[in-house]
Amino acid sequence: MRPGYQVKTHFPGTRKRSSSQDREGMPEHVWNRNDGTMTFAYKGLVIEKRNALYRVRDVKLSGFPVQSVAGVFNDSRLLRALIDSGIAQSCPERLERLREGNRNVHCGNCLTPFLFRREGMIEHLGGFLVTCPYCAHEEFEDRLRWATDENFY
């Protein structure tokens, strides 16, 4: 190499140093541990999603045709239509109580919705903590962001 030759260090596809300095004030990437598994409530019914397969957990709603949603589904639109038609046949008072008991929460850290469970709360400093099952972020119960149960995740 001849004296004074400037070695080329910036190639296409590499980042400049200034781009990493711009991210100093931003939060770090949050790792989500759900691995394609999610439990959520849709109109009061608890649904387990594993990758692209949906399964409705035990339905405790009088008048609901349980045999129509028994098994595993890979089409969310079909399952949603079956649930909506079954809810139209069921008892509305019982449905309201079921929807109050099964509610969804948005995690404040990873923004993933999950099913709120009272038995999963931890007493801490005179309040109750709820832990996100996906990123292990803890939030006090009075600061939770509730998610609607009208969405199918």
Average pLDDT over all residues of the chain: 82
Q: Which residues pair with 47 in a beta bridge?
A: 40, 56
Question: What is the predicted pLDDT for the residue at 109?
Answer: 80
Q: Mean of the pLDDT values across residues 62-91?
A: 90
Summarize the confidence of residues 45-54 as an average pLDDT.
90
**Average pLDDT value for residue range 86-115:** 88
Q: Is the pLDDT of residue 104 over 70?
A: yes
pLDDT band at 149 (very low <50, low <70, confident <90, very high): confident
Distance in angstroms (rounded) separating the CA atoms of residues 151 and 38: 13
Distance (Å, whole) CA 87 – CA 72 = 19
8 Å CB contact between 37 and 50 = yes
- Given a cut of 80, whether residue 33 has pLDDT beyond it is no
**Segments making up each domain of the chain, as ranges:** 37-147
Query: Greatest CA separation found in the chain?
Result: 88
